[in-house]
Amino acid sequence: DQLPAHVLVLFGATGDLAARKLFPGLYRLAAAGRMPEEYAVIGSGRHSPGTDAEFRDQLREALAESVDDLDDEVADDLLARVRFQTSDADDGADLAAAVRDAEDRLGGDDVRRLVYLSVPPAAMEPMIAMLGREGLTDRARVVVEKPFGLDLESSRSLDAALKDVVAEEQVFRIDHFLGKEAVQNILALRFANGLFEPAWDRRSIASVQIDVPETLAMEGRGSFYESTGCLRDMVSTHLSQLLGFIALEEPAELTAQAVRDAKSAVFEAVRPLDASRAVYGQYDGYRDEDDVDADSDVETFVALEMYVDNERWRGVPFYLRTGKALAETRRTITLRFREAAGSLFGDPAALAAQPPNDLVLELTDDVQVRVDVRAKRPGPDLALVEGSFHLALADDVPAEVSDPLEAYERLLLDVMRGDQTFFTRSDEVDRLWQVVQPLLDERPPVHPYEQGSWGPQAALDLAEGGWRLR
């Protein structure tokens, strides 16, 4: 379907996210013919990047870095629609004039506004108030970047500021993990097959691991990390959202309301965290990073245990782990099955000594699912050997029927289509802050860990039966 004409206003347009994800995302949507026929992009921020021509040159460089085989024609067309207008929370008059001017050129009052707020948490509220004052929220969809506040109180205040100027239907709280192909595929695997769902509960599953180690360290994001930390950057956002999709009941229909109701019900049932079952770490050398305090206590690693106290999951630990400067970059969800109840191959304790029976979802760009099983060792005796089923979706689905988009561009497209299914609703955010608040009130001690390791020792011991990745 043809999208209506759009004016996109990107705050933080000279920042890292804009350069690495947002402009490349717009480019790829344009290259795939998925942008509206008529649109304009207005970058904004407090500091001007120079003339519009200079801004476009910087963007072209950013595109060249992120996009292989940049198509000059597509890039030229995109950049020709881009300009920059300075603004700040106290003064948005010039920006408002620029938006109206772009709209007049595109067709007046039917033009949609997409306002993307890629700004630090502290700047968010004043910016939102400015948008309201300048009337920029009319006909607008407002995209808000995580972490949606810094604790329960500030998140409620941010939410109130949003609700002062827009309705919930206009708010798109972006968590780009929900734009990942593999995450959306969890819904297909679970609810379009008869195989998995009957085993998807506490009767069959002993524990779940949601493991997102990263090798990268700060890469210039020291000041962001100092104010955010790993819990807010990754756990109360990305990892909790993954848990939501793993744990939810089947939504009544594929609508934003039904999917978000189902996910929200999971978060309602999540038990607030127990600081004694959480391990914080900080990699050696973090304090020497640019813009990091010499005696910073900020965590760059978190491992913790979560429980979903409902009929399906009662008593099943969900282990969440993520951190910077670790041994590998992976996004791996492991559902570990309980031991078989029978004794044909020895009692459960003897079986437990075998490699585990795991269902593993690798959330890579090419969706991969793997089930590790015990099979019969070829030969005259009925002995066991490790085996596995392995599904590599990219190998199985012919290119003509696949239409891959990366997370950010998929979500940008959803905003333009007005589809909130894969965006976080205000009640989810509120509940997740309630869940993590105990760790903000009583910070677990921060253990040092070596770069390139799997984090502090205390975290290795947290997961019963051990982490799958190690």
Active site residues: 238
**Nearer residue to ligand BG6 within complex by CB, 134 or 145:** 145
Omega before 147 within 30 of 0, i.e. cis: yes
**Nearer residue to ligand BG6 within complex by CB, 233 or 372:** 233
**Nearer residue to ligand BG6 within complex by CB, 211 or 214:** 214
**Nearer residue to ligand BG6 within complex by CB, 113 or 176:** 176
- 342 by Cβ neighbours in 10 Å (0-12 / 13-18 / 19+) ranks as exposed
* Max CA distance (Å), the chain: 83
**Residue least distant from ligand BG6 (Cβ):** 233
**Which residues neighbour 292 within 8 Å (Cβ) at sequence distance 6 or greater?**
218, 222, 223, 225, 226, 286, 298
Residues 353-372 that bind ligand BG6 (CB under 6 A): none
Rounded to 5 degrees, φ, ψ at 221 are -105, 25
**Nearer residue to ligand BG6 within complex by CB, 239 or 439:** 239
Q: What single-letter DSSP state applies at residue 380? A: S
| Residue 449 · residue 281 · CB < 8 Å | yes
**Nearer residue to ligand BG6 within complex by CB, 83 or 180:** 180
For 279, the 3-state DSSP assignment is strand
Q: Which helix (H) or strand (E) holds 207?
A: strand 205-213
Looking up tokens 């990047």 gives 49
Cβ 23 to ligand BG6, closest distance in Å? 16
| Residue 158 · residue 125 · CB < 8 Å | yes
Kindly list the strands in the beta sheet with 301-306, ordered across the sheet, starting from the edge strand earlier in the chain: 384-392, 368-376, 358-362, 332-337, 205-213, 318-323, 301-306, 278-283, 446-449
Q: What single-letter DSSP state applies at residue 233? A: I
Q: Indicate which single residue of 103, 181, 211, 214 sits in contact with ligand BG6 (rule: CB under 6 A).
A: 214
**Nearer residue to ligand BG6 within complex by CB, 197 or 328:** 328
Cβ 214 to ligand BG6, closest distance in Å? 5
Q: Which amino acid is at 253?
A: E
Binding mask 130-169 for ligand BG6 (x = CB under 6 A): ----------------------------------------
**Nearer residue to ligand BG6 within complex by CB, 176 or 321:** 176
Residues 267-306 that bind ligand BG6 (CB under 6 A): none
| Residue 326 · residue 301 · CB < 8 Å | yes
Distance CA 161, CA 24 (A): 30
Tokens of 173: 């709280």
Distance of CA 326 to the CA centre of its chain: 19
| Residue 410 · residue 179 · CB < 8 Å | yes
Q: Indicate which single residue of 233, 305, 358, 372 sits in contact with ligand BG6 (rule: CB under 6 A).
A: 233
Where in 75-204 does DSSP place strands (E)?
Answer: 82-86, 112-117, 140-145, 171-174
Q: Binding to ligand BG6 by residue 211, rule CB under 6 A?
A: no
Cβ 233 to ligand BG6, closest distance in Å? 5
Total residues contacting ligand BG6 by CB under 6 A comes to 3
Q: Which residues form the interface with ligand BG6 (CB under 6 A)?
A: 176, 214, 233
